[in-house]
């Protein structure tokens, strides 16, 4: 199994669920994480990543970390300084239309969104609300482009798009697609030589559907147009994703693998969860399992079954622990000897 991994955690793209998978794998195999200094949950995002943002990094000591997966704005030469040269790089993408709808609900306080009532209103005259000089502009335009380290306000020429796609292809071994999450996990498992249980998960940091709004065709087209760079990235890598499945696994075996993954997930849900699924924040009984609530989104969580034996409880708890709590527990574990 591969143990040196860089995951570019793209916002609002099922990346918290992927992070939980990496946390569990790293904890099980006693791997080291490249934590933000002071144990925060972002590597000084939205600045471009620098090696010195990582706790315990020192240019004079060649210590390398196994897993780098906290939010960052990608800058490969700096990432190279903290992980092994053979590390596996991957990320996950999401349809920019859904991404923008989600971003609008989640980052309602961002400068570009704070003065509008709806996404429609924003898209009618985006430049009335959006300024390329705002420090939080990236939440409102080409968010994936920004996370990959590029300029979200760059012109959209064929030449520029080609260079951007080439650069991403040169840096990353695999790009997953959040709309095909289960297929993505099967592909990831294959590439990392992991077992099935390592990639089973319950969806984390997801919104209550009551806060999601359907979009008209006109709005969909406006979103694609406004996020043209993201759209180019997404359509290109959605295509190569399926090409890779056809080349490395085949559709028939993929179907069987996905079926096995879903069956295992169902089995774990029956073992671990009260009521089999996620619940609204107000119904989460154990406050240590409550996800951070943000913007106008209502983030769902889980209740564990009572009376589980110790080992099962530990396994189940790890599956449903929200990102911030899990990250903080792992940070304390990794730096136990240094903490006052």
Tell me the domains of the chain and their CATH numbers: 5-335 (3.40.50)
Mean pLDDT by runs of 10 across the 340 residues of the chain is: 97 94 98 95 97 95 92 98 97 97 93 96 97 96 98 96 98 98 98 98 85 89 98 98 97 98 97 91 94 83 96 97 96 79
Position 338 scores a pLDDT of: 63
Q: How far, in whole angstroms, is CA 233 from its chain's centroid? A: 16
Position 63 scores a pLDDT of: 84
Task: State pTM to two decimals.
Answer: 0.95
Position 13 scores a pLDDT of: 93
Position 337 scores a pLDDT of: 67
CA–CA distances in Å: residue 196 to residues 199, 201, 314, 340:
6, 10, 18, 39
Residue of 43, 35, 39, 91 lying closest to 67 (CA atoms): 35
Which are the contacts of 40, defined by CB distance < 8 A and separation ≥ 6? 70
Angle, CA 217 vertex, CA 212 and CA 219 arms, to 5°: 65
Which are the contacts of 194, defined by CB distance < 8 A and separation ≥ 6? 1, 2, 25, 188
Position 179 scores a pLDDT of: 97
């Amino acid at each position: 199994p591969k143990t040196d991994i860089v995951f570019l955690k793209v916002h609002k793209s099922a990346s918290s669920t992927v992070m939980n998978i990496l946390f569990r794998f790293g904890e099980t195999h006693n791997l080291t994480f490249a934590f933000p200094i002071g144990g925060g949950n972002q590597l000084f995002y939205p600045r471009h990543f620098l090696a010195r943002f990582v706790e315990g990094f020192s240019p004079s000591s060649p210590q390398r970390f196994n897993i780098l997966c906290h939010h960052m704005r990608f800058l490969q030469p700096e990432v190279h300084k903290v992980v092994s040269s053979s590390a596996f790089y991957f990320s996950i993408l999401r349809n920019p239309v859904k991404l923008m709808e989600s971003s609008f609900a989640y980052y309602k306080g961002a400068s570009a969104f704070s003065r509008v009532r709806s996404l429609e209103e924003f898209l009618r005259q985006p430049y009335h609300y959006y300024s390329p000089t705002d420090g939080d502009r990236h939440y409102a335009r080409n968010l994936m482009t920004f996370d990959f380290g590029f300029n979200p306000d760059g012109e959209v020429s064929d030449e520029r798009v080609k260079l951007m796609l080439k650069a991403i292809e040169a840096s990353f071994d695999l790009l997953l697609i959040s709309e095909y999450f289960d297929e993505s996990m099967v592909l990831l498992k294959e590439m990392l030589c992991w077992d099935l249980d390592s990639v089973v998960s319950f969806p984390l940091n997801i919104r209550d559907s009551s806060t999601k709004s359907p979009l008209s065709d006109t709005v969909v087209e406006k979103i694609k147009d406004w996020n043209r760079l993201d759209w180019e990235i997404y359509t290109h890598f959605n295509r190569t994703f399926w090409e890779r499945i056809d080349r490395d696994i085949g559709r028939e075996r993929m179907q069987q693998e996905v079926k096995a993954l879903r069956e295992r997930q169902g089995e774990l849900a029956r073992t671990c969860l009260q009521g089999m699924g996620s619940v609204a924040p107000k119904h989460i009984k154990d406050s240590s399992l409550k996800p951070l609530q943000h913007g106008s989104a209502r983030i769902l969580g889980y209740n564990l079954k009572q009376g589980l034996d110790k080992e099962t409880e530990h396994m189940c708890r790890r599956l449903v622990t929200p990102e911030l709590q899990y990250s903080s527990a792992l940070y304390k574990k990794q730096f136990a000897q240094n903490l006052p």
